[in-house]
Amino acid sequence: MPQPTAFHDLGALCFGSRAQFEPGHLEEVCEAVRGSGVRDLYVVVHGAHNDAATGAAVDGAFRDLLTEAWGDDARDKGMLGVHWPSLCFRDEGVPGLTEPTGDAQDGDPRPSLSRATIEDLCRQLPDSVAPLKRIAELLDERPERQLAFDDFGSALRSLAELPLQDPAAEFTADTEGEVLPQADPLMLFEDTRTMCSEFAGALRDVRHALEAGEGKPARHENDVDKSDVSDGGSLQETRTAGPRPARPLSKRVGRTGTVVAGGPLGEEARATDLAELWKGAHELFRQVVRHVLRRRAGLIGQEGLGPCLPVLAEGAEIRLHLVGHGLGARLAGFALRGLETGGAEPVTLSSLTLLQGEMSHFAFADILPQQVSGHGALWNRQRLVQGPLLCTFSHLDSHLGVLYPLSAQMMGDSAELATTARKWGALGFDGVQGVDGPPPVALSGVTEEDPWELPYLNVDASEVVRSDDVPMGGHHHVFHPEIGRLLRWAAGH
C-alpha cells in the first residue's frame, strides 16, 4: 500500500523561559520555510517537552496525524514545532513519555515522584530546585504529622511565588478588568491539608463516575436532554457560544463559592485517611506545577511566538495555521496578543485550533456573564484570525473538567451565584463561552460546515478524547484520524 506524502518537517522555533531565543535562530527558521515551497504551514504547540526525545516524539505524532489527513495532497504542506520549557508528569499517558519500569508501583496512583519525573522538573524549573527536592522528599516519606502538610504548603508557595515586578506575573489570569482583580490561586493559600483532601476527593469522584459508566459523550442541538445538562451551564445568558455539555464527573465543581477551611471540607480533611491525603498532595503538586507553566505559556506566547509569526510570514507565500494542545493552547492563544507587537507588518492567521485548551472558557469573552465588569484576556483578538477559530472540548477530559476549575479558583473570589465549573471552567471542557457563535457540533459532523463563515466553532470531541485514565481522562488522547481531518478542514480546502 503506498505511503502518504510526508509533511515537510521544518524543525522548531525554540524559546527560553523568558521568551528569548538564540541570535540568528529565527532567521534560520525563516530561511528553511521560504526554501521549502510550503504553502500551508502548521505551527504546532504542545506542553510535553520533558526532554528533547519527548518533544520530538510528540512533534512526530502531530506530524504523522497531519500526514495521514492530507495524504497525497501534503506536498506543499509543512509543520513547524514550538519548543519551550514545559513538561508533563510521566503518568499522564503522553506519547513517547513513560515511567521507567523500575519506578512503577502496583499500577496505582501514588504520592511518590519517579526519579525521571524529578529530573524533568529540575530541568525545566531550574530556579526552583530546592523546593522541588523538598516536595519530592515529603511525597516519598509521607510523614504522619500535621506539620508535614504545613511544610508541603510552604514548599509549594516557594515554587510558585513571583516578585511583583516579574514580567510573568502579568500572565496569571485569563480574564481582565474585574472589579477585584484575581491573581493568586486559592490552592496556594488555603489550608494545605484541606486542599490535599479536596484533590483526593476529586480523584475519587472521577474514578467512581467512570466505574459507574457516567463517561459517555455529550449530545447537542435537538438531541440534548435538558436533564443531562449541568445546572451551572443552563443559565439563560446572552452572548454564549453554546450550551455546556453533560454534567462534570464531580459534584465539587457544581457548587457555588470557594473552598473554605472552616466549612464541611475542613471536617472532611480531618476524616480523610493519611494515605489518601498524600495522594491528594501529589495531585495538588501537579496542579501547582501546571499553574506555573500556564503563566510561562502566556508570557512566551505574547512576547515570543506572537512577534515571530509576522516575521515568519514576511516575504513568504504561506498561510499560517496555529495549533495548540493543552498548555500549548494557552501559549497559542496568547500569541494573538503578540501578533501586532513585532517589527514586521501585522499578519492574520489562516486558522487557529485549540485542542483541549488549558485556559478559561471566558478567555475570548468581551463580557463576563457572572460579573458586572471585565472581559477575557483575548477579547477582540479573533479579528487576527482570517478563518475559523476552532476549540475542541470533551466533558470526559477529567483534568480540565474537574481538576482545572478546582485549581484555577483565585483568592478573593466572591461570586456566590456562579458555580465553580461555570466561573473557572476550561476551554477544553465546554468550549469558548461568552461570545456570539453557533451551537457546538460533534466531531464526526464538523465537515458539514463552511469553516470560512464561522468566527468561532466549538467541537465536541468526546467521542475520541476519552479515557478511563485518572486523573487526565483522555486529555492527551488527541491523536486520532478525526482530529487530523479537523485540522485539514480548518485549512479551508
Which amino acid would we find at residue 412?
G
Contacts of 102 (CB under 8 A, 6+ apart): none
First CA to last CA across the chain, in angstroms? Answer: 25
pLDDT tens, residue order, the chain (493 aa):
556 667 899 999 999 999 999 989 999 999 999 999 999 999 999 999 999 999 999 999 999 999 999 999 999 999 999 999 999 999 898 988 877 644 444 445 568 899 999 999 999 999 999 999 999 999 999 998 889 999 999 999 999 999 878 899 899 999 887 655 556 788 999 999 999 999 999 999 999 988 887 766 655 443 434 434 443 443 334 344 555 555 778 888 877 766 654 444 444 545 468 889 999 999 999 999 999 999 999 999 999 999 999 999 887 789 999 999 999 999 999 999 999 875 556 688 999 999 999 999 999 998 887 666 788 999 999 999 988 899 999 999 999 999 999 999 876 665 555 677 778 899 999 999 988 878 888 998 887 666 667 788 999 999 999 888 888 989 999 999 999 999 999 987 5
- Bridge partners of 393, per DSSP, are 460
How far is residue 446's CA from residue 442's CA, in Å, rounded to a whole number? 6
Q: Cell numbers for 412, please give them.
A: 478573593
- pTM across the whole model: 0.91
How far is residue 364's CA from residue 129's CA, in Å, rounded to a whole number? 35
Q: How many domains does the chain have?
A: 1
Nearest to 416 by CA among 222, 225, 257: 257
At residue 261, the pLDDT reads: 45
- 108 C-beta neighbours (distance < 10 Å), count: 7
Would you call the peptide bond into 471 cis, given omega within 30 degrees of 0 as the criterion?
yes
How far is residue 86's CA from residue 97's CA, in Å, rounded to a whole number? 13
Compute the C-alpha angle 9/14/18, nearest 5°: 160
Which amino acid would we find at residue 367?
I
How far is residue 210's CA from residue 204's CA, in Å, rounded to a whole number? 10
How far is residue 197's CA from residue 244's CA, in Å, rounded to a whole number? 27
How far is residue 358's CA from residue 325's CA, in Å, rounded to a whole number? 8
- 222 C-beta neighbours (distance < 10 Å), count: 6
Structural domain span for residue 152: 1-493
How far is residue 10's CA from residue 41's CA, in Å, rounded to a whole number? 9
CB 301 within 8 A of CB 342: no
Q: Helix/strand/coil (H, E, C) string of the chain?
A: CCCCCCCEEEEEEECCCCCCCCCCHHHHHHHHHHCCCCCEEEEEECCCCCCHHHHHHHHHHHHHHHHHHHHHHHHHEEEEEEECCCCCCCCCCCCCCCCCHHHCCCCCCCCCCCHHHHHHHHHHCHHHHHHHHHHHHHHHHCCCCHHHHHHHHHHHHHHHCCCCCCHHHHHCCCEECCCCCCCCEHHHHCCHHHHHHHHHHHHHHHHHHHHCCCCCCCCCHHHCCHHHECHHHCCCCCCCCCCCCECCCCHHHHCECCCCCCCHHHHHHHHCCHHHHHHHHHHHHHHHHHHHHHHHHHHHHHHHHHHHHHHHHCCCCCEEEEEEECHHHHHHHHHHHHCCCCCCCCCCECEEEEECCCCECCCCCCCCCCCCCCEECCCCCHHHECCCEEEEECCCCHHHHHHHHHHHCECCCCCCCCEHHHHHCEHHHHCCCCCCCCCCEEHHHHHHCCHHHCCEEEEECCCCCCCCCCCCCCCCCCCCHHHHHHHHHHCCC
How far is residue 390's CA from residue 393's CA, in Å, rounded to a whole number? 10
Q: Cell numbers for 487, please give them.
A: 485540522
Nearest to 108 by CA among 83, 120, 91: 91
Contacts of 84 (CB under 8 A, 6+ apart): 14, 15, 16, 17, 45, 49, 296, 297, 300, 304, 331
Which amino acid would we find at residue 335?
A
Which amino acid would we find at residue 217?
P
